[in-house]
Amino acid sequence: MINELKLKAGIADYCIFGQIFFMQKFILISSFFAITLLSSCSYYDHKTKQEFYNELAGTNDSLDRMTFDWFQGLNRAIASRNFSGLAPLRTKMGLFVSKHRAKIADIEVPPNSDGLRDSEEVFLSNQSTIITDAYPAFEPFNDITPIEDIQNQLRAVVNDQEVEAAASAALRKKLQEFARKNSLKMLQ
């Protein structure tokens, strides 16, 4: 009987020790899992924000460069009265805007950043309108086109571009604030 009680006590001690050991392992594994999950979510969130910023800022930088190139081409065309080089520049810009509008519409938007994406979409929509409506008006011009017609069209496109330049600057400022607030690497 005494041996039986000792055996039962030993089993009870073993069961209690096993439960404590199991609980310690469970707590350790659960803590490790929770820390890993939280740190990876933070990394994922930062990565998403960086990709979002890179896409929007990169799109705007490229579009600004293409717009500058188009206006340089326009200046050369006006000086030479040969406007044939403008169509390829406009087409390249139009394809670029279409491609990036689709990308930005489908991009993963970080929390509280819908307004920034919406601003980008409006900006690209307005740029698309200028590219399809204002820029082609120069393409049929040639060496016999009256200078007054060229100047009238130039005034219209410069006015449109001044409005868009202001919108681009405002959007650039919002993107810089977003990057600073989220400790992102800014594009140069």
Q: Kindly write down the DSSP assignment for every residue of the chain, as one continuous string.
A: -HHHHHHHHHHHHHHHHHHHHHHHHHHHHHHHHHHHHHHHHHHHHHHHHHHHHHHHHHHHHHHHHHHHHHHHHHHHHHHHT--TTHHHHHHHHHHHHHHHHHHHHHSPPPTT-HHHHHHHHHHHHHHHHHHHHTGGGGTT--TTS-HHHHHHHHHHHHHHHHHHHHHHHHHHHHHHHHHHHTTPPPP-
Residue at 29 is within a domain: no
Residue at 140 is within a domain: yes
Q: Say yes or no to pLDDT of 89 above 50.
A: yes
Across residues 115-129, what is the average pLDDT?
Answer: 96
Q: How many domains does the chain have?
A: 1
pLDDT in tens, 130-179: 999 999 999 999 999 999 999 999 999 999 999 999 999 999 999 999 99
Residue at 36 is within a domain: no
Residue at 37 is within a domain: no
pLDDT in tens, 99-110: 999 999 999 999
How far apart (Å, rounded) are the C-alpha atoms in residues 75 and 89? 13
How far apart (Å, rounded) are the C-alpha atoms in residues 154 and 156? 5
Q: Residue 41: its pLDDT value, please? A: 45
Q: Residue 187: its pLDDT value, please? A: 83
Burial class (CB in 10 A: 0-12, 13-18, 19+), 167: middle
Q: Residue 22: its pLDDT value, please? A: 61
Residue at 38 is within a domain: no
Find the domain containing 150 and state its range.
52-181
Q: Residue 17: its pLDDT value, please? A: 57
Q: Residue 61: its pLDDT value, please? A: 95
Residue at 145 is within a domain: yes
Residue at 5 is within a domain: no
% residues pLDDT > 90 (the chain)? 73
Q: Residue 11: its pLDDT value, please? A: 58
Average per-residue pLDDT for the chain:
86
Burial class (CB in 10 A: 0-12, 13-18, 19+), 99: exposed
Residue at 20 is within a domain: no
Across residues 48-75, what is the average pLDDT?
Answer: 96
User: Residue 143 to residues 77, 81, 151: CA-CA distances in angstroms?
Assistant: 10, 5, 14
Q: Say yes or no to pLDDT of 121 above 70.
A: yes
